[in-house]
Amino acid sequence: MKLTMNRDAPRLTLNAETAGDLMTKNPISINQKATLHEALALFTSKGFGAAPVIDNAGRPVGVLSSSDILVHDRENPEHLVPAVETSPMTTADGESIRRGFQIENVNTTRVADMMTPAIFSVTPDTPAAEVISELQRLHVHHMFVVDRGGTLVGVISPLDILRHLGI
């Protein structure tokens, strides 16, 4: 099959001049001290596949992706042995507990232990063309936008770029 290009087709134009124009402002992030359980809750409730990880001052220190969580889970398997019920189980108040329940081993792993500690960032005044070039060169899907103090103020994804394309 041979493809031909229509030379009269309209060209796409980027309707943004700077990273500040492209970015999604005030992105939802997760603190590096958050637990695996908190990260999973954020990802499932928001439908995220990745989130910036920040320190207590709001500066980005890494990124956590669903892939990071899967790798962590694969490398740290923990299996609970089902309890052998020799007598009926009861709570401290004497209430009966139905068969089939077991005790959950709560995972206290912190986000900082699972995240990718790489930071790729630009300032709001970085030219948009430079941002796109860096995303391609670095082979990353997100670019952090930080203010002069290093605080996270935005994030740029390929979807943000597509939103600013026009004919």
For the record, the structure tokens of 38 come out as 């908190």
What would the pLDDT profile of 20-43 be if each residue is shown by its tens digit?
Answer: 999 999 999 999 999 999 999 999
Structural domain harbouring 95: 15-166
* DSSP for 2-43, written as a single string: -----TTSPPPEE--SBHHHHSEES---EETT-BHHHHHHHH
Please check whether residue 139 lies inside any domain of the structure: yes
Query: Count of alpha carbons within 13 Å of 38, Cβ hemisphere only?
Result: 15
Contacts of 110 (CB under 8 A, 6+ apart): 32, 33, 34, 35, 36
7 vs 146 pLDDT, higher one: 146
The mean pLDDT value of the chain amounts to 86
* Short-list 111, 109, 106, CA closest to 51: 111
pTM: 0.73
Residue 55 within a domain: yes
Kindly state the helix (H) or strand (E) to which residue 137 belongs, with its residue range: helix 128-138
CA separation for the pair 114, 100 (Å, rounded): 32
Does some domain include residue 59? yes
Could you report the per-residue pLDDT of 147-167, keeping only the tens digit for each?
999 999 999 999 999 999 986
- Whether 7 is covered by a domain: the verdict is no
6 part of a folded domain: no
As a whole number of angstroms, the distance between CA 139 and CA 127 comes to 18
pLDDT in tens, 44-103: 999 988 999 999 999 999 999 999 998 988 887 665 555 555 566 677 777 776 666 655
> Does residue 4 form part of some domain?
no
pLDDT in tens, 126-145: 999 999 999 999 999 899 99
| pLDDT tens string 89-124 | 677 777 776 666 655 666 789 999 999 998 899 999
Could you tell me if 72 and 113 are in contact, meaning their C-beta atoms sit under 8 angstroms apart? yes
CA atoms within a 13 Å half-sphere pointing along the CA-CB vector of 64? 27
What pLDDT was estimated at residue 102?
57
Contact 37, 107 (CB under 8 A): yes
Angle at 104 between CA 100 and CA 110, to 5 degrees: 160
CATH number of the domain where residue 92 is located: 3.10.580.10
pLDDT tier at 6, thresholds 50, 70, 90: low
Per-position DSSP letters for 52-110, written without gaps between them: EEE-TTS-EEEEEEHHHHHHHHHHS---PPPPP-SS-EE-TT--EE-TT---------B
Domains identified in the chain, total number: 1
Whether 50 is covered by a domain: the verdict is yes
Is residue 21 domain-resident? yes
